[in-house]
Amino acid sequence: MKNIFTLSLIFATITSYSQTFVSTTPENKNVILEEFTGISCTYCPDGHRIANDIYNNNPTDVVLINIHTGGYASPQGPGTDFNTMFGSAIAAQSNLSGYPAGTVNRRVFAGLGQNGGTAMSRGNWQSASSQILNEPSYVNVAAQANLDISTRQLSVTVEAYYTGSSPVNTNKLNVALMQNNVEGPQTGASYNPTAILPNGNYNHQHMLRHMLTGQWGIDITNTSIGSFFTNTYTYTIPNDLNGVAFDLFNLEVAVFLTETQQNVITGNMASMNLIVPPGINLVDLVASSNMSIPSSYCDNNLTPEITVTNNTTVPVDTFAVSYTLNNNAAVTQNVYSSLQAGSTTSISFNSITVPSGTNNISYTVSTVPNTSFIDNVPINNIASSGSFNTLSPTAFATNHSEGFEGFALATPAPNNAILENPQDNWVGIIDDTYTQGQPVGGYGNSVNSYRFRLNSFSAGQSAKLIWEKLDFSDAGNYQIKYDLAHALKNSWDGDVIQILASTDCGDSWNTVSQMSGSSTATYGTVSSSGNFNPLTIGGTTNYYPSNNTSSLQHWRTDSVDLSAYNGNPDVMVAVNVICGGGNNVYLDNIIIEAISSSTSNNIIKKSINLYPNPTNNFIIIEDFDNIKEYEIFDSMGKKVAIIETRKTDVTHLENGIYFVKLNGNPLKRFSVIK
């Protein structure tokens, strides 16, 4: 049911109404859907979506009240405590056993409730609502609310008319205050994508803020047919509740009647009348941004820019704009030039250098305090650049190691790395809080690892973990070494793991190594062995490496030769995982380093002279020296030929990059081009 806002441009004293707006004609019941939710509840956004669908199908007959309560509603920092003093008691009487849960008119529906109570899982809300909407009500209720934005006093006049007699002598009237468009965090937001704000936060709706009539309402004692009840309730709205500001332009009021504190008979939304002081202009300033996103990872300088549209009929000659880079302090400036009605302007800020990693710039436009303008549509005051990745244009180290320890669950990338995840699949650092205390680090020796949750990918989707530039100028043969754990979901799956390298800051990538299908599996297939699912998280085909005595069999250590990039001061290395059927891939203990020739069993004192390079038919090793151990490997690390003479025929090789090695030590790179 939509709030209807009207504007009164004079101060007025609100007096009790006579019976003027409640219907005296018998009507069916309206739905009061109280949803128990929380910001850490993964599937709660799906509950919000289902509730909104029920409302949208019956916009004048459904009231939505979202109650943040329980462990999933624990705050995640300042301004994220959405609990009230009323929520826990309402939830307790419902017998809920999981989130999200909801009650429809606080009634027990046979076969639909959790633990035999009034709380139901989200899949049952529609069925229960349909039953309520088809039942006659013996009472009608309506309300009119007036809110003085100067004094912050809310006045709600309620009328109830009994078209029949109540089966109980006393009914209880409840007046609930809710708030829409409350920005905050939300796990699982992608289940309700229309609620995701441009800056990535979640837009919470119908959030319970206060009960004007107390925990369980006030008594109505005359409940016989033809009885009429009216009363007015007032509440001075504070600046905030638990550090969450009350937005006077996004409040709504619901009223409903109950038999005792359970069994809601019916309810309704109040109309809302805003009382505005003389000389004040209500305006609607809209933020957007056309800022140019860096085209290269190494382009870390940009100019923030906000576009403001005056979506009202009066000029606005003073307003404020700001931008916020990631979680830094906002940078704000006032604008004193007139923005005509319906006009748009763009404002640029000073150029900035953004840090390496995933960045987001959010923009805000607002009216300035103590002016004649108030923006009464704040929901469109925020815009965003969208997420973009940048990296330092200079190398950060000559080698690097990463064990993923010390990072929070679901961190998308560790230090000195970024994640390319176009479909926003579940990719990131996983720890033992997700796996019921079971360590998921390499070989069971640590609690953290990095996971590509291919079970949530669609076939062909990929994600790429990219490290910042490394300087390979030092002497030695470079390699990447890592611990891997992976099980196929089915024996025919074709999951792909690639090691990529780039020397142009990620503008192009070379595939250094690629394995797929059974070669990616470290032990076998989930469907053929119970060893792979010691936990019951996410279904029987989700793979979690075991930490029991067989854990060594769940992991293996791979190494990939990067010596083709020896001497290059600007090398980026990436791990790209492509879903080809789909099961979890775990990485840990990643080391990118140069192996000194002194550590080799067979020390190579000099390089070899090889020509022609590139070639199309043969290669000659000038200083062959009667060594018989030369071998040729392709870019995937597969041995493709043995060199036994000074001149070697390579016509059988396909176009590509190859390496000549002696006892595993890379000596020379050459290309075949036909």
pLDDT tens digits for 564-581?
999 999 999 999 999 998
pTM: 0.60
Rounded distance, CA 68 to CA 455, Å?
30
pLDDT above 60: residue 496: yes
Range of lowest pLDDT (17-26, 77-86, 305-314, 349-358): 17-26
Rounded distance, CA 463 to CA 459, Å?
12
Range of lowest pLDDT (413-422, 603-612, 660-669): 603-612
Residue 371 vs residues 109, 320, 345: alpha-carbon distances, Å: 54, 12, 20
Mind listing the pLDDT tens digit for each residue in 67-77?
Answer: 999 999 999 99
Percent of the chain scoring above 90 in pLDDT: 62
pLDDT above 60: residue 46: yes
Mind listing the pLDDT tens digit for each residue in 111-152?
Answer: 999 999 999 999 999 999 999 999 999 999 999 999 998 899
Extended beta strands in 197-293, E state: 202-204, 207-211, 218-220, 228-236, 240-241, 244-245, 251-259, 262-269, 271-275, 281-283, 285-288
pLDDT classification of 547: cutoffs 50, 70, 90: low
Contact 398, 594 (CB under 8 A): yes
Look at residue 526 in the predicted model and tell me its pLDDT.
64
Look at residue 172 in the predicted model and tell me its pLDDT.
98
Range of lowest pLDDT (396-400, 408-412, 509-513, 539-543): 539-543
- Using N-to-C axis directions, what is the helix angle for 125-133 and 44-57, rounded to 10°? 20
Rounded distance, CA 420 to CA 500, Å?
13
Cβ-based neighbours of 469, under 8 Å, separated by 6 or more: 298, 391, 392, 393, 394, 395, 396, 505, 570, 571, 572
Contact 33, 51 (CB under 8 A): yes
- Average pLDDT, rounded, for the chain: 87
Q: What is the average per-residue pLDDT within 166-176?
A: 97
Range of lowest pLDDT (3-12, 46-55, 564-573): 3-12
Beta bridge partners of 141: 160
Task: Of 323, 315, 452, 311, give the one whose Cα is nearest residue 383.
Answer: 323
Beta bridge partners of 142: 159
Task: Of 285, 280, 284, give the one whose Cα is nearest residue 371.
Answer: 280
Task: Of 210, 202, 152, give the one whose Cα is nearest residue 182.
Answer: 202
Look at residue 233 in the predicted model and tell me its pLDDT.
98
SS3 content of the chain, % helix, strand, coil (to 5): 10, 40, 50
**Whose structure tokens read 């009237």?**
173
Percent of the chain scoring above 70 in pLDDT: 88
Mind listing the pLDDT tens digit for each residue in 404-453?
Answer: 998 988 899 999 999 999 998 989 999 888 777 778 888 888 889 999 99
Cβ-based neighbours of 21, under 8 Å, separated by 6 or more: 142, 144, 159
Residue 277 DSSP code: -
Query: Token pair of 427, please?
Result: 């990719």
